[in-house]
Amino acid sequence: MAAATTEAAVRPSRAGRRLPLAWIGTLPFLAYAGVFLLLPTGIVIWNAFKGNTNGWTLANIKALNTGPVRTAFTGSLELCVISSLIGAVAGAILAYAVASGSADGVIRRVYLAGSGVLAQFGGVTLAFAFLATIGPIGFLLHASWYSDFPWGIALIYCYFQIPLMVLVFLPAIDGLRVQWREATENLGGSTWHYWRYVGGPLLAPAFLGAALLLFANALSAFATIEAWEDQIAYVVPQAISTSLISEVGLANAHEGDALALGMIVLVVIVMSCYLLLQRRASRWQR
Amino acid sequence: MAALVKAAKSEGTLNVIALPNDWANYGTIIKDFTAKYGIKVNSIAPSDSSAQEVTQIQQKKGTSLAADVLDIGNSVATASTSLFAPYKVAEWADIPVGLKQADGLYYADYGGYMSVGYNSAKFGTITSLNQLLGSKFKNAVALNGNPTEANAALNGVLMASLAEGGSLSNIGPGVNFFAKLKKAGNFNPVQATQTTIKTGATPVVFNWDYLNTATAVGQPASTWKVFIPANATLGGFYDQAINKNAPHPAAARLWEEFLYSQAAVGGQNLWLQGGARPAEQQAMTTAGTIDQTAAAALPPVTGTPVFPTEAQATAAATYLAANWAKAVS
């Protein structure tokens, strides 16, 4: 009894004496995030408030409220919402189809490998692939609406959005246990009941998270749309490009920083909505 | 000159920037320069814009990576003179007065006229810009870039403006023309390259004539023609400038001497062979130093050439910034 008491008393104090070194493991990550995320973000914000003659100014921020910039932000939002919604829904269905097959079957492996490749297939290569196949003089189909904004471009984006959705959403679907389905049926629930009260709520946070990833993926994409829409700036990354490389006198790097700041704000808003939604959706999991 | 060659050779290297090999014969020019002087040419970021060239020499200032010489658009040159070293090449007197900055901070190197290059096998002969609004030009007409970014594209719109009753000071009718093209379904926003021209994705391209020749776009001369409207003959020149803090100052100056040389294998005739009109063309024609064959191969110009002033170019850009995307999207 006495020994047991001593032991109980000693244990916490031994833990307290140990140097708290666990955080060292996170150093590489913090350094990485600091150098490649926080530092650039800080520089962008800092520069967005600087004038071309070194003083501080709000002119760059005010320039965000001009017609062309508003158009670029509207364009970016349209393109991102459309392509991430189509990508998320189609990708989720596809992922479900793949998950319901054999866990180590050939089809699943082919789909995963294919998605892994296609999710990274973007940029000029993708634009040209579409151009050559179903563009204005494509060998398969002569179509011109692929260059329409936003629907045509959104469709091209889906080419990498859907596979990406499959990749990030499949683990969540794999997490659904057959027993839950059986339990629902044993309790007299229909397929609708299962999805409404079990599967849906369970997958909602993962679905929203994946859709957000797709949204961000489309938001920052530049090379694909630049190759198709070389002569018009429809989205914010293109407007930033104009502010950096214009050789006709419209270059203004600080306005470019303000545009980037606008994109950061956009991501923060979307992120916050996501967190709120996720908190609500995952309440029952706690 | 001998001392310059010696100093340049001891530097051994020259950094050039934004010089695509298929642009105004630069591939050959670089090769010939190296062959003549044994100086290695380090070609940085061939597809950069003029604005990016200026950024590069600011960011790489004091390092051996900075570009020594620049080939830039006139509006960027006039805005960036504090970065340049004045230098007058031996043939200074042969460059027309209107094409050089008096102190030699920058001076025109080559130029040309805005033109429409097109597949004549597909469309027949084009004699006016208005034809492009016709139904057979569905999805065919492209600019070389975004006119709020690229000088060549801005001048394409300006040319359309001149043809449509606008003026150098009024680019509006040009924007309207492209809005009509878009409405007719004839505007093609794809980035025009040799590849898209080859595959037929961009069969009609607005560009400087020297970038639009059959050779420059890699097409047979029998099916690729260049049209310069008589009522809209819009000229434009690029400028040369030397980086004030050039890591290879002697090689930079020797490069300029080479570019402005009227020799058979000198920059002026080499540009001409690339379809560009060299700054000393007039003097060379008089002196008989010009490559006759290359001069005869230039696209014919029937109208009276006009050149936008700095103020006109700026006004056009400002108008485009507010109206271009709206008009064609």
Question: If we measure between CA atoms, which residue out of A91, A93, A81, A84 comes closest to residue A214?
Answer: A84
Rounded mean pLDDT, B2-15? 96
What pLDDT digit, counting tens, does each position of A69-101 carry? 999 999 999 999 999 999 999 999 999 999 888
Residue A273 pLDDT grade (very low, low, confident, very high; cuts 50, 70, 90): confident
- Tell me the CATH number for domain B112-234+302-328: 3.40.190.10
* Interface contact flag, A248 B317, Cβ < 8 Å: yes
What pLDDT digit, counting tens, does each position of B116-159 carry? 999 999 999 999 999 999 999 998 999 999 999 988 999 999 99
What pLDDT digit, counting tens, does each position of A223-258 carry? 889 888 889 999 999 999 999 888 888 888 899 999
Asked if A70 has any chain B CB less than 8 Å from its own CB, the reply is no
The domain over range B2-110+237-296 is classified in CATH as 1.20.1600.10? no
Alpha carbon separation from B258 to A251, B163, B251, B261 (Å, rounded)? 32, 38, 10, 5
DSSP string, B227-283: E--TT--BEEEEEEEEETT-SSHHHHHHHHHHHH--STTSHHHHHHHTT-EETTHHH
Rounded mean pLDDT, A26-40? 92
What does the mean pLDDT of chain B come to? 93
pLDDT of residue A18: 67
Q: Say whether pLDDT at A174 is over 60.
A: yes
Q: Which helix (H) or strand (E) holds A148?
A: none
Q: Say whether pLDDT at B277 is over 90.
A: yes
The domains spanning B2-110+237-296 and B112-234+302-328 adopt the same CATH topology: yes
Going by C-beta distance under 8 Å and a sequence separation of 6 or more, which residues neighbour residue B238? B71, B72, B73, B74, B108, B109, B110, B111
Measured between beta carbons, the chain B residues lying within 8 angstroms of A233 are 146, 148, 325
**Of residues B298 and A137, which shows the higher confidence score?**
B298
Rounded mean pLDDT, A37-50? 92
* Interface contact flag, A234 B191, Cβ < 8 Å: no
Q: Say whether pLDDT at A7 is over 70.
A: no
Query: In chain A, which ranges are continuous DSSP H helix?
Result: 2-17, 27-33, 39-48, 59-62, 67-99, 106-118, 123-134, 151-174, 178-186, 191-194, 200-220, 223-228, 236-245, 253-281
* Interface contact flag, A234 B326, Cβ < 8 Å: no
Which percentage of chain A shows pLDDT scores above 70? 92
Residue A54 pLDDT grade (very low, low, confident, very high; cuts 50, 70, 90): confident
Residue B299, helix vs strand vs coil: coil
* Interface contact flag, A136 B188, Cβ < 8 Å: yes
Give the one of B48, B191, B314 whose C-beta lies nearest to A249's C-beta. B314
Rounded mean pLDDT, A1-21? 53
Assigned architecture for domain A64-285: Orthogonal Bundle (1.10)
What's the DSSP call for residue B113? E
- Is the predicted ipTM greater than 0.90, yes or no? no
Give the one of A230, A234, A250 whose C-beta lies nearest to B321's C-beta. A250
What pLDDT digit, counting tens, does each position of A176-207 carry? 888 998 999 999 989 999 999 888 888 888 89
How far is it, in rounded angstroms, from Cα B98 to Cα B284? 17
Measured between beta carbons, the chain A residues lying within 8 angstroms of B326 are 67-68, 71
Cβ-Cβ pairs closer than 8 A, A with B, add up to 122
- Residue from B49, B123, B143, B148 to probe the interface with A (highest A Cβ count within 10 Å): B148
Question: If we measure between CA atoms, which residue out of B113, B93, B123 comes closest to residue B229?
Answer: B113
What pLDDT digit, counting tens, does each position of B282-312 carry? 999 999 999 999 999 898 888 888 988 888 9
Count of other CB atoms within 10 angstroms of residue A93: 14
* Interface contact flag, B146 A245, Cβ < 8 Å: no
Question: If we measure between CA atoms, which residue out of A248, A118, A38, A158 comes closest to residue B73?
Answer: A248
Q: Where are the domains of chain B?
A: 2-110+237-296, 112-234+302-328
Measured between beta carbons, the chain B residues lying within 8 angstroms of A245 are 48-49, 51-52, 149
Give the one of B72, B199, B320 whose C-beta lies nearest to A132's C-beta. B199
pTM of the predicted protein model: 0.81
Measured between beta carbons, the chain B residues lying within 8 angstroms of A135 are 190, 201
- The token pair at A256 is 């470019």
